[in-house]
Structure formats: structure tokens, C-alpha cells
A and B are shown apart, each in its own frame.
Chain A
Amino acid sequence: MVLESTQSLSASLEDYLQAIFWTVAAKGVARAKDIARQLGVKASSVTGALQTLAEKRFVHYQPYEAITLTAEGFDEAARVAQRHFIVREFFVTVLGLDEAIAEKEACRMEHCLGDDIAQRLAMLMEFVKAHPDMESGVSQLLAERCRSAEMPASVRSGPVTVADLRSGQRAVIVAVRSGGALARRLVDMGLGRGALVEVEGVGPTGDPIRVRIRGYQLALRRMEAAAISVVGR
């Protein structure tokens, strides 16, 4: 999934968008004071940023009313959140960095990293996870996998799916990618775009998994979870 930015935003506006994205995912709507508190800024600067974001049609915003994201705003925020998640996970799992440092670096890099680079990082991370004792041929294998039509499901449906999340991790669903009845069933059960999902645990053999969605607990097999693309937090 190569995503291209339609309108570039400044790093600070991207931060605002992120704050709105996560607040909306958790609460349904965001309010100016939530965002000010989350970013540690004054309410007055929030208003200015919101107006700019509204002009760019990323958010629905009227003064004194709840803020929600437009479809474009959601996509843009999801892209940034995706990059953030990939970079941090890459730093932790591949480079073996400390979580706190990884988080801090990811906060900076999420604004400037290209989507295609983020995707390659995700694939490399996938590969390293699958081959703990990998020795050589990483770049060769990556090239092969990019060319190959038969990429693993986790790569095909976007870098990260519910199946990739660890216990306790939260993520926002961006798309459900599978055919007919299964996709509909998943969305009917509330696993739709924009919903916040948390992995609560895995079964005795690592499959199925337990997730919390819209306030209730749901069990699903890994192969089903792999159809749900998310951006992790």
C-alpha cells in the first residue's frame, strides 16, 4: 500500500491531526480542550490550527462544537500514524533500541519519512521477525518480495494488521481487506474503519486471538485478523 500525500502539512499540523485522530478513535469526537491538553499547548493556538486543518478539508470544525475527521483527514492521519508505528517498531525489533528512544525518534521521523521507505522498513521488519537467525541476502530477498505477486498476507494488506499486534497493543482500523462474507461479518461485528481495537490475548497455540472492540470482547482466528489493516499506537 503506497500512500501518497495529496496536500503536505507542516510537522506541527500533522501533530494536531494525530491528536485528533487518536481522540476521535477513543471517544468518537474530539474537543479543542482535549487536544490542547494532549499536545500541551494553549487553547488559542489550537483554534488557529483547527481552522487551517478545516480549510484543507481534513477536519469538520465549527467553534465550540465537536471535531471529527473528514475522509481525507482520516487517511492523512492514518498515514502519519502508520509511519510512526513502523519506525518505532523497526527501531525496537530490528535495531534493538530502547522503547523510549524509539518513540522519541519516531515522533520526529513520522513527519519526514517517505511512505515507500516506511513500507520497505516494514517488510524488512517482517522478514527479521520471521528469521531470527538471518544471515545474508536481506536486500535480495526484499527485492524478490517486492516483485513477487505472492507476498504474505500481512504485507499485501498493508504493513500492519491485527494479526501483527502484540497482546496489549492498541490500533485503529484503516481497512478490512478480504472478500464477501468474512469482510461483512467483521464490519458487522464492529471491526470497521476508524474503530479502536485492542489485542487482549492469544489462545494456547497462539491462535485464535482475543480482541476488544467497541467495548466488548471478540475472538477471531489469525487468518481473519490478517484481513484487518490497522495503524498501531
Chain B
Amino acid sequence: MKSITVALAGNPNSGKTSVFNMLTGARQHVGNYPGVTVEKKEGQCTHRGWRITFVDLPGTYSLTAYSTEELIARSYIQEDRPDVVVDVVDASNLERNLYLATQIMEMDAPMVLAFNMSDLAKRRGLEFDLTQLSQLLQMPIVPTVGNKGQGRTELLDAIVETAGAERKERTHRVTYGGEIEDELLRIEQTLGQADGGVVARYGRRWLAIKLLEQDEDVTSKIRDPEVQEAVGQSVAHLRDILGDEPEIVMADRRYGFISGACQETIQSSVERRHDVSDTIDAVVTNRILGLPIFLMLMYVVFFLTFKVGSYPMEWLETFFGALADGITRHWPEGRAGWLQSLLVDGVIGGVGGVLVFLPNILLLFMAIALLEDSGYMARAAFVMDRIMHKIGLHGKSFIPMLIGFGCSVPAIMATRILENRRNRLTTIMVIPLMSCGARLTIYALFIPAFFAQQWQGPMLWLIYLIGIVLGIVAAKVLRLTVFRGETTPFVMELPPYRMPTSKGVLVHTWQRAWLYIRKAGTIILALSIVLWFAMNFPRLPADRLSGLDAQEARQQGLRYSTVGRVGSAVEPVLQPLGFDWKIGTALIGSVAAKELFVSQLGIIYAVESPDEDSPSLREQLRTNYTPLVGFCVMLFCLISAPCVATVAMARQETQSWRWALFQFFGLTGLAYSVTLVVYQVGRIWL
């Protein structure tokens, strides 16, 4: 079977992803938010005896060297030479969408134009003379409606035909006007003597255009001093006579070319008037109502996720509990007891502990999908940008940070909505400082143990506030140091509101949830098992077990294990914070999951069925520690070492252990220094 490769290019919000799904049948994210497709996705289909591989390029507005996404899309077209490039354009917003097309045309790639959302354009009263436009642009044009699956066969026909057609030189192209064309010609001529390989690969005219635009990427490829000098002269000359950067004037001329083409081929039967979208915007982005509406929606999302989600979460907890009980009950007496413990405490405890969050995750991602697909997410960023910009982040960073109060794992996944890598990494790094739900169990145990009734509320509030303030400071510091760089321009499209389709939302939700499940099934399982071994081995020698009751045996066993030993070993290090080996051991256990801190402490103090409400454990804490130590423990738990699930997710989303470990040790270091200062200063005062 003959095979061809097709690259799918297009603006964000052009419905590119839905066209990709229509063509390949792949279940994949369909969003209504600028920059939703960040990674490269592939899919396949067969048509009339051809095996067609589709590569989904990042959604971009242009093909400059200024953004990673644009560079990725551009170099794929140039370096990988797909047989056909399909440019998906939003027919209802043609001018700006064709801007990308003019740039792909300049790369001399065989093209097909998918006129997407053609139904919407028709409803807006736009009529196209596609035959004439197709002649002007010298490429086939196929009307499609991606989310309804219309135009699939026609598009595939056009692709196959274009792939098989002989390549002809373009006669119609953007002309940049006398002065610029003269300089382009001059540069093309000097290129004639330059490196033949580069010229052959990229094409003479395209190179000349990019050189005149002072494109960093292309300029670095052309080392010939003669060419560099010629380009320098041309740029200076044009700057002089045009009064502007050649790059800017050339971009203007492309729009001029498009305006000309549209003028001749588009008839608009109705004047643009205020539509529903404008009315919604007038309310949702209103100066007075904008923020309250945003906060209310966020509250709804939060409520839905953690309140409504708590019921199925309980069912799952019951299920895993029953599963663990069942295994324990039916386990053959006295046979490989360690394996039983590994299964029950390690595997079910670890993976189950993460999977119980699945309902929350599903609900959360469904809410996000609804916000994205409807177009509200861009408005949320618009409303929050002023505040987030002050700490060097983007308006969109607010959403993952808010989710962090529930659980860091989905919060880190939600940073995918951030386009800029530096912004995204900064946000990921500070997310664990937004105190998550699991840490609440620690506060619930400690606060009533040490503080009088009337101080309990303010104390909890203070802990959360410290996290937020540290998060803001940390973000600012990171943006000034490790992730330094100019803030991304906010310039962001506000797509028209659309009714989300249930299919789109479900696909979208499922994809992310699946990622979470896969994660729980692999890295978290592995780390849970490692931690189980650390907590159970080496085992207490049999002779030392004699005369101990079950609780004492557990207590001694934990102390004898790797975790207990490490906890004891780090005691000298933790002493300046006011912590003893018991807290140290519990802290190490809490790396598996924050809520384990409480049960570990319970085992150490040999309390029966310990949880955050157990009065005897509180009693023990009260007699053993001062309120200052109690506060310091909470402070340390708030800031320090994110749990293994968070580390695993940070690794996954940053694609590097380096950042995950940087976060782990950075936060632990921060926790240590902050707690040290608080304890030492506190000791003087109290």
C-alpha cells in the first residue's frame, strides 16, 4: 500500500483538532482555547488504497522563530517534508486564518485548505466564491465541519490528489512591493554563491524573506559573511525608506494580499452586529461583575469537584477497604504474611489511595472541559491577568493554582493550558504550596491538640495564608532567577462562545482521567511498593517480638525498619526545628501521601486505629510537644516535600526528573529554613 504523510496546520480555535479527529477517528482533546494542542499528535487512516499518516502540528497564528510552537510547526514542514500540508482555517474568521496560509505557501509545500466551520460562516451571512479563491491561492479548498464530520471524503480526495500531482512553481504569491522585492532579489542572488545544501533545502526565496525579516533561526543557519553583509545593508536601507522594520512592513503586505483575495471572493450579506457572544462578554468581563462572576464559577468548580465528588470517593474508599479486608480474611493463615501486607498495605493502600481521587479528577476535568470548550477559559484569564501579571505569571496560571487547594496532581496536569514553558514551570513549582486536601488531615489533628477553641479557626486560616504568600513570593523569585525572561505578551484571542458538545467534553475528560489512571498504575504503584519495603524491612528479629502485644510490635517494627532508622538518623538534623525521631519517621512516611503522616504517628505512639480525630493521639501530642513544635510540624508539612504522586506528575509534565527533583528538594529546603527560623525565633519569645 502506498503511503503519504500529511501535516495538519492551523490557528488555535480553528477546529483543527476536530478535523484531525474526523480524519483519523482518534479520540483526542477538542478545545475552544488558544494553544490547546501543544504536543505533536499522530493518527492514521486509509483512503482509496493509500495509507495516510496525519501529524497534528501545534496550533499557531504565524510561523516566526519567536515561539517554540511556531518553530516546531515550521521546522516540521521544512525538515520532514510532509507530502501535503492541510491548513485548517476558520471560515468565519478568514482574514487572520489565511495569514498562516500565506506563510506556508511561501515554503512551497503542497497545500490543501480545509474551510472549517463553514456552516457557522454561512449562518453569519458570508458567501464565498471558492472556485476563484482556490485559483488565487493555487490550492484546492474543501469546506468542512469538523465537529459534525462533514467534508471528510472530499478532503481525503483532495489530499490524495494533491499528493499525487506534479509540483508546479507558484505563480501567485505575496508580493512585497517594489522596494522590498528589489532587496529580496539582491539577497537571493548573493545566496546563489552560498552554501548549496541550505539553499536547496529551504528554497531561495523563503531564505531571502526570512533573512530580511531577521529571523533568528534562519540567520544562524547562514554563516556566509557576504550574505550577512548584504542582508545588513538591505535591512538598513529598507528601515530608512519605509520608516519601520522590514519584518513589520512585510507582515502588513501579507495582510494586504489577503485583503485583496478576500475582497474579490467574499460577499457579506449582513453587517456584523452585536451578537450573543458580545452580550455575554459585556457581562462576564464587566469591570464590576467580572471578578465576582469568575470567583463564583471557580467556587462552583471547586464545590463540584470536592463536595459532590466526595460521595463516589467514599464508595471507592469502602470498596478498597473491603478488598483489603477480603484479602486479609481469606489469606491462608501463617503463609507469606509479608506478601499479604505488601498487597494490602503497599499495593491497595498506595494505588487505592490515589484512585479514590478519580471521581474528583473526573468531575474537575469535566468542569475544565466545559469552561474551555465554551470559550470562558480565555475570559477567566482576561479577568485574572492583572493580578497574576504582578507576580510574573499569566492570567491562566490562576486556574491550576486554585485546583492545587484540592490536590496537586490534577493541578499540575491543568498547567497544560499555559503556553509559555517558563510560566508553566513556575506554576508547577509553586502548586504544592497551595495547601492540598490531604494536608488538612494533619491540621485537623494538630490544631485542636495545641490550640484553644477560639484560635483554631484563625490558625487554620493562617496556615493556608502562609502557603499562598510563600507561593506568590516563590513565583516572583523563580521568575526573576531560574525562569527569568520577558513576560509573555498577553495578546490572546477571545474566541466566540460556543455550546460545548457532550462528545467533546467527554472525550476531553476521559483523556485526562486516563492519563491519571495510567500514572497511578505505574509510577505510583512502583513508589508505593518501594515505600512499603522501606517501612517493613528490615524486620524485627523474632526473639525481640516476644512479650510484645500487637500494637507494641507494630511500633517496634516501624522503629526497626528503614524508615524508622532514617527517621532516627535525621533526628540531629531535625532537632533545630524542635522535631524528634518520631516526627521524623512520620514525615518520611508522609512522602508517600500526606495523610499517612497521621497514621504513622499513630503507630509510633501505639495508638489504636489512629486518625485525625482520635483523642488519645492528641493527648499524646499535647504531653510530648509544645504548641510551638505543633505549629512548626504543620508549617513543615505545608511547605516540604510534595508526595510521590506529585513528584511523579511533575516529572511527567516537565518531561524531566531534574525539575521534579528541583521542586522536591527546593520545597524541602524552603520548609527547613522557614521552620528553623520560626522555631528558633519562637523559642526566644515563648
| Chain A residues packing against B (C-beta within 8 Å) | 28-29, 66, 175-176, 180-190, 192-195, 200-208, 210, 214-221, 224
Contact = CB atoms under 8 A, between A and B. Distances in A.
Nearest 9 CB-CB pairings of A with B: A188-B62, A204-B290, A187-B251, A192-B252, A217-B494, A181-B66, A205-B386, A221-B490, A214-B95
A187 B213 CA distance: 13
A183 B285 contact: no
Contacts, number: 131
B491 interface: yes
Interface in B349-395: 378, 381-383, 385-387, 389
Interface residues of B, number: 47
Interface stretch (B241-249, B500-508, B560-568): B241-249
B61 A183 contact: no
Contacts of A184: 62, 64, 66, 247-248, 251
Given A175-B244, A189-B96, A195-B255, A203 B493 contact: no
A28 B95 CA distance: 11
B291 interface: yes
B211 to A, nearest CB: 15
B61 to A, nearest CB: 6
B498 to A, nearest CB: 13
Contacts of B489: 181-182, 185-186, 220-221, 224
Nearest to A207: B386
A3 B287 CA distance: 37
Contacts of A176: 248
A205 B386 CA distance: 7
A219 B490 contact: yes
Counting chain A CB atoms within 10 Å of each CB, which of B93, B255, B262 scores highest? Answer: B255
Counting chain B CB atoms within 10 Å of each CB, which of A215, A216, A221 scores highest? Answer: A216
Given A189-B61, A215-B272, A221-B385, A201 B281 contact: yes
A210 to B, nearest CB: 6
Contact of A203 (B251, B278, B285, B496): B285
B95 A219 contact: no
A214 B258 CA distance: 11
A165 to B, nearest CB: 16
B569 interface: no
Contacts of A215: 93, 95-96, 272
A215 B245 CA distance: 26
Nearest to B64: A184
Given A202-B287, A215-B93, A219-B378, 16 more contacts: A175-B244, A181-B489, A189-B493, A190-B99, A190-B255, A201-B281, A203-B382, A204-B287, A204-B386, A205-B386, A208-B382, A210-B494, A215-B272, A218-B494, A219-B492, A221-B389
Given A204-B287, A219-B494, A183 B386 contact: no
Contact of A210 (B64, B382, B386): B382
